[in-house]
Structure 1
Amino acid sequence: MTVDQPTVMQILVAWRHNKWVVARNAVEVGAYAYRVHAIEMAQRLSAEARKLGIACYMLVRDKGGQWQERSCPRPLPEEPSG
């Protein structure tokens, strides 16, 4: 299901099998060997939510299978355009 004007973005960062999976609103956007790379993608998605003016939250599933709900990570600093 697609919503024309979403009000909240869900970012998922979860350990699945042998990789970190990142999803936006239940749609996978990447898979990474290292958690730090998955968190960087979550930060990019958080910046996207901020630009769209929508709320954001993050669900994290660690290697042990525990789920945590967190606020979205701070977006990465924007690179100066040239």
Structure 2
Amino acid sequence: MQILVAWRVNKWVVSRDTVEVGAYAYRTHAMDMAKRLHAEAIALGIECYMLLREKDGGWEERRCPSPPRAESRG
């Protein structure tokens, strides 16, 4: 699963495999969604990676954020 968190114009957009799943005013809320998506990837048993586009336009590939505790328990 590819998770994309990107600053676009005036909001943080979160996409899963190129499909937008949410837009948020605050980065922390976007990262919370990325964590939930990572939990979904774990449940499906698929690989996960994340691309992050900062406000300055720079791109960074990084590990998916740790899923929320309640959702990561099996």
State the TM-score, normalizing by the size of structure 2. 0.94
**SS of match in other structure, 2:20:** strand
Partner of 2:46: 54
- What is the root-mean-square deviation in Å for CA atoms of aligned residues? 0.8
Given the alignment, which residue of 46, 58, 65 partners 1:66?
A: 58
> Which residue type is aligned with residue 35 of structure 1?
R
- Which consecutive residues of structure 2, in runs of 5 or more, have no partner in the other structure? none
Percentage identity across paired residues of the two chains: 69
Q: Which moved more, 1:70-79 or 1:33-42?
A: 70-79
Deviations 1:6-60 (A, max 9, x none): xxx0000000000000000000000000000000000000000000000000000
Partner of 2:11: 19
Displacement of 1:68 in angstroms is 0.2
- Which consecutive residues of structure 1, in runs of 5 or more, have no partner in the other structure? 1-8
d(CA) in 1 for partners of 2:42 and 2:27? 22
How many residue pairs end up in the alignment? Answer: 71
Partner of 1:75: 67
Please say which structure displays the higher CA radius of gyration.
1
d(CA) in 2 for partners of 1:25 and 1:40? 17
> Which residue type is aligned with residue 5 of structure 2?
V
Partner of 2:25: 33
